[in-house]
Amino acid sequence: MKILVINAGSSSLKYQLIDMETEQVMAKGLCERIGIDGHLKHTPLVGDKKVFDENVAMPTHSEAIAAVIEKLTSREYGVVESMKEIDAVGHRVVHGGEKFSQSVRIDDSVMAAIEECIPFAPLHNPANITGIKACRDVMGDVPMVAVFDTAFHQTMPGKAYMYAVPYEYYQNDGIRRYGFHGTSHRYVSSRCAELMGKPIEELKIVSCHMGNGSSICAIDGGKCVDTSMGFTPLVGLPMGTRCGDLDAGVIQFIMNKYGISIDEMLNILNKKSGVLGVSGVSSDFRDLDDAASKGNDRAQLALDMFHYWVAKVAGSYVAAMNGVDAIVFTAGVGENSKSSRAAIAGYFGYLGVEIDDEANSKRGEDIMISTPDSRVKVFVIPTNEELVIARDTKAIVG
Ligand code: ADP
């Protein structure tokens, strides 16, 4: 069985074609500037086919999908003979609200429910819907599955997902913590259980997804019991450009003092804050490491804040679960930054965590970076959201 995994953004579309017999990625690629002009980078990963990296006209997502299918099946760049070899499509969908606690096969009622969730993710869900419709246009009745970023977090108890605002806002408007990165937290926690050789039902895991966007998740017995992102992906940890947790009074103060609108304020909190805002240097942790090593105090402060927040939130989840067996680092920073992992683990002495410096220096593999004697185990596990989407799709379409 071969499954096409699609992650559609408003002007971009990422894809992978995965052979489910071997779980090998046969080809992957990225369409960019959809609706502007259009560019496709397509990389075959099996056989000796060529990489395609050129402008292609993409007035809408339908032309983008058509270009992807054309490349996947072409003699020069392709990895399959025809579209018929693609058995199913798995779509990443950002928000499933309270309706979806699992992945589902897409039909008209599912499309309507995803549309109902647009107010919760006004930038993302419309793009995901556009991607699904474009696939239908081009691929006809190939079975399709939606995999939601929010679904894994639906097991949170009310005490974790409720905000302490008048209850009517929850009841009437769905205002609550939803959480994001669920597919990633699900993947790394189940992989962690495999690496530990224990059933996930017996483990308490804190999963730290640290990329441009970052979130932490408390996973007790394989189920999410709390997570740091909320109604939107703006809160929790300070991130590349997002502010993380913030006193709402600050918003009123800044808006009044500088006469700015709520839209401008939200733009500042989403795009100009986080480690970029504090450092004034960059949202990229490599640039911050570099600047800090040259004596830039604000870059060091931004890094210190990030590490402190990860440790603080992770610690609160140890309290929430009344213990922890393993801590996992994943995503861009979690997988690549030895120094960030070491700095964060430095806060976990009270858990009996000891880091093996040599293991912590390795890269690109699933690895335990704590010493064999470490009371709580610490892992680096490269995330693989596409594989989860493909596996769910396979399980659902059979
Ligand atoms: P996204 O949230 O966009 O999926 P990623 O998980 O790809 O993000 O993470 C991207 C971030 O990872 C970059 O902004 C960069 O800060 C960080 N990163 C990548 N490589 C390194 C590295 N070697 N050292 C420190 N940070 C890194």
What percent of the chain has a predicted confidence (pLDDT) above 90? 98
Rounded distance, CA 53 to CA 241, Å? 29
Question: Which of 87, 107, 141, 149 is an active site residue?
Answer: 149
C-alpha 380 – ligand 1 centre gap (Å)? 14
Q: Which among 86, 76, 89 has a CA at the least distance from the CA of 7?
A: 89
| Residue to mutate, 12, 30, 336, ligand 1, most ligand atoms under 8 Å from C-beta | 336
Per the listing, tokens 């895991």 go with 205
Q: What is the pLDDT of residue 335?
A: 97
Give the pLDDT of residue 322. Answer: 98
Task: Specify the DSSP class assigned to residue 151.
Answer: G
Say how many Å lie between the CA of residue 265 and the centre of ligand 1: 25
Question: What's the CA-to-centroid distance between 382 and ligand 1, angstroms?
Answer: 12
Query: Which value, to the nearest 10 degrees, does the dihedral of the CA atoms of residues 7, 340, 246, 114 take?
Result: 10
DSSP string, 187-241: HHHHHHHHHHTS-GGG-EEEEEEESSSEEEEEEETTEEEEES--SSTTSSS--SS
Confidence of residue 398 (pLDDT cuts 50, 70, 90): confident
Angle at 128 between CA 125 and CA 129, to 5 degrees: 85
Which segments within the chain are labelled E, that is strand? 2-8, 13-19, 24-32, 39-44, 52-55, 88-93, 104-105, 144-148, 204-210, 214-220, 223-227, 326-330, 367-368, 377-380
The predicted-structure confidence for 304-315, as pLDDT tens digits, reads as follows 999 999 999 999
* Averaged pLDDT score across all residues of the chain: 97
pLDDT at 119: 92
Residue 331 CA, ligand 1 centroid: distance in Å: 7
The confidence score (pLDDT) of residue 123 equals 86
> Binning pLDDT at 50, 70 and 90, where does residue 241 land?
very high
Q: For residue 333, how far is its CA from the centre of ligand 1 (angstroms)?
A: 5
pLDDT value at position 364?
87
Handedness of CA 319, 325, 330, 336 (dihedral sign): positive
Measured between alpha carbons, how far is residue 100 from residues 106, 114, 154 in Å?
A: 12, 9, 8
Beta pairing class for 204-210 and 326-330: parallel
pLDDT at 330 over 90: yes
Residue 371: its pLDDT value, please? 97
Which atom number of ligand 1 is nearest to the Cα of residue 240? 14
Mean pLDDT of 240-261: 97
The reported pLDDT for the residue numbered 221 is 98
pLDDT in tens, 43-77: 999 999 999 999 999 999 999 999 999 999 999 99
Residue nearest to atom 7 of ligand 1 (CA): 332
The answer to whether the beta carbons of residues 311 and 343 sit under 8 Å apart is: no
Residues 188, 374: Cα–Cα separation, whole Å: 20
Please, which pLDDT band fits residue 91 given cuts at 50, 70 and 90?
very high
pTM assigned to the model: 0.95
DSSP β-ladder status, 377-380 and 326-330: parallel
Q: What is the pLDDT of residue 57?
A: 96
What residues does ligand 1 touch, defined as CB less than 6 Å away?
Answer: 211-213, 240, 284-286, 331-333, 336-337
Q: In the chain, helix, strand, coil percent, each to 5?
A: 45, 20, 35
Please confirm, yes or no, whether 245 is among the known catalytic residues: no
**Residues of the chain with pLDDT > 70: what percent?**
100
Burial degree of 348 (CB within 10 A; 0-12, 13-18, 19+): buried
Q: What residue type is assigned to position 395 of the chain?
A: A
Q: Which atom of ligand 1 is nearest to the CA of 285?
A: 16
181-233 tens-digit pLDDT: 999 999 999 999 999 999 999 999 999 999 999 999 999 999 999 999 999 99
Mutate to test the pocket of ligand 1, among 208, 286, 307 (most ligand atoms within 8 A of CB): 286
